[in-house]
Amino acid sequence: MTLIEEVKAIMQRSASDEYLNVMVPLLEDYVKAECNNTFRKNGKTVYPGGVKIFIAKACEHNLTVSGVSSKRLGTVSYSYDLDFPESLRRLLNPYRRVRFHAF
């Protein structure tokens, strides 16, 4: 089963295949950068369950209107919060690797 198929199975709301084909690779890159981890094992990329759940929930988050941080009715103005909620980002904590910076 491919990662896109697994994400589709985890998601509670339906998303188009086109959306998932675009978003899943982008979120894979995000996870690798955020965790400082390539998730390579025996020459293959293998994501643990928590990472798969993060990717699925991040796709769901982007499909909802929950990213709206404020609205105005007068001359119609919307502000969006594009960061993932902390409860979602916490799923990646066990997979983070320490980064060392030389001074």
DSSP-assigned letters across all residues of 22-54 = HHHHHHHHHHHHHHT---EETTEE---HHHHHH
pLDDT, residue 85, reads 85
Tens digits of pLDDT across the chain (103 residues):
899 999 999 987 778 889 899 999 999 999 999 999 999 999 999 999 999 999 999 988 887 765 566 666 677 666 666 678 889 999 999 999 887 777 7
CA distance 24 to 9: 13
DSSP state of 96: -
Token output for 77:
């103005």
pLDDT, residue 44, reads 93
